[in-house]
Structure 1
Amino acid sequence: MSASTDPRPWQRTDDRTLLHTRVFDVRSSRFRHPGRADAKEFFVIDAPDWAVVLPMTPQGELVMVRQFRFGMEGLSLELPGGVIERGEDPAQAAVRELAEETGYTGAAPTVLGSVHPNPAIQSNRAHVILVPEVQLTADLKWDADEEMSIALVPVQEVLQRARAGEVTHALMLNGLFLLEPWWREQGKKRGWAGI
């Protein structure tokens, strides 16, 4: 095969759930390449879609959370967000998660885009939602295993922290990328520092 050959989709021939948890399922799937007779086993994590929230204050600050993350075994500075419930609209899930985690609410949410967190092994999508004009208005409603600090951080500082390796959450970095066009437009109108 040459590098210039367009790849062809593989066909799924079989799958079975290996593990069911409250957060995700692990599935064994057999796929066959269209040019080959044999099928091979691959593993897929089936998780619900997620909402990643970009809560923007009128002053151009992001409402951010710092919390312990078990996978990295450390504290992570990141955007609020969480699981989208079955049948829930991503924008409404973002509004709900933002209020529950931070106590902030704002103007009408806008879906900026969606990404595949890790398409090699995950089937879900993360929806990036901007909630502008946020203000502290609600009581916190953390889950039993949630504990976090909340900070208002200017977007420029968030970008500096990301470039310095202090912000490593990939979905947050995706969110900042999708925020850029909106930020440039609003920044001109409001006199905010550019990205």
Structure 2
Amino acid sequence: MYEHVSVGDAVRVVALDTAGRTVLVEDAFYLQGRRMLHVPGGGTEGQDPRRAALRELEEETGLVAGRLDPLGEIDPLPGTTRMRTHLMLATDLRPGRMRRDATEAGMTVQWRPLHDAVAAARAGDITEAGSVAALLLAALTTERCRP
């Protein structure tokens, strides 16, 4: 017998502005018992990953991306679930409408240069797997990880 958890796919979005800053969100995670800093994202809820990424970005940050490029996919817990996390790079940002649900009421937003966000992941300040992978891939893709 092989136990597993059935969970839907997820998305994580590295949103970069023209100054090379990325938007991060911080929220409380019940199972970890602490607030965690991460890139915007969430479940696909059965949507196409690109559509879900655009939805999550706007819901959590109030930003709309004019361009969305895939960074890759990860299997965060392959021994536990089939769930995949789709990683995206959002650019050409403009204001939209924030629409957080009740579970995101305490979420905060902060902007950091991409290289600072990568440094936060290396220092263990950002530990959510999809966020770490997305930030590293975005840094490699954009070559903006150098101060």
Aligned to 1:142: 100
Partner of residue 84, structure 1: 44
1:42 aligns with 2:5: no
Q: How does 1:1-195 map to 2 (within 5 A)?
A: 41-86=1-46, 88-135=47-94, 137-146=95-104, 147-184=106-143, 187=144, 194=146
d(CA) in 1 for partners of 2:82, 2:39: 22
Cα offset for 1:117?
Answer: 1.2
Q: What is the rounded CA distance, in whole Å, between the counterparts of 1:174 and 1:65 in structure 2?
A: 16
User: Cα distance, 1:194 vs. partner?
Assistant: 2.2
TM-score, L = length of structure 1: 0.71
SS at match of 2:2: strand
Which of 1 and 2 has higher RCO (CA within 8 Å, sep 6+)? 2
Quote the Cα distance in structure 2 between the aligned partners of 1:80 and 1:176: 11
Cα RMSD (Å): 1.4
Deviations 1:119-177 (A, max 9, x none): 01011100001111223x12211111112000111111112222222111111111122
Tell me which residue corresponds to 1:9: none
Distance 2:141 2:87 in 1: 13
* AA in 2 matched with 1:54: V
Tell me, in whole angstroms, the C-alpha distance in 1 between the residues paired with 2:12 and 2:126: 15
Q: Distance in 2 between matches of 1:177 and 1:150?
A: 20
Aligned residue identity for 2:146 = G
The structure-2 alpha-carbon separation of the partners of 1:111 and 1:141, relative to structure 1 and needing over 3 Å to count, comes to: same
Greater Cα radius of gyration, structure 1 or 2: 1
Quick one: which amino acid aligns to residue 96 of structure 2?
Answer: A
Q: Structure 1 or 2: larger helix share? A: 2
| Partner secondary structure for residue 102 of structure 2 | coil
Percent identical pairs in the alignment equals 28
Residues 118 and 136 of structure 2 are in contact (CA less than 8 Å); yes or no, is this contact kept in structure 1?
Answer: no
Unaligned 5+ segments in structure 1 are 1-40, 188-192
Alignment check: 8 A CA contact 2:114 2:139 kept: no
Deviation above 4 Å: which 4+ runs of structure 1? none
Mapped to 2, the partners of 1:85 and 1:59 lie a distance apart of 32
Secondary structure of the structure 1 residue equivalent to 2:4 = strand
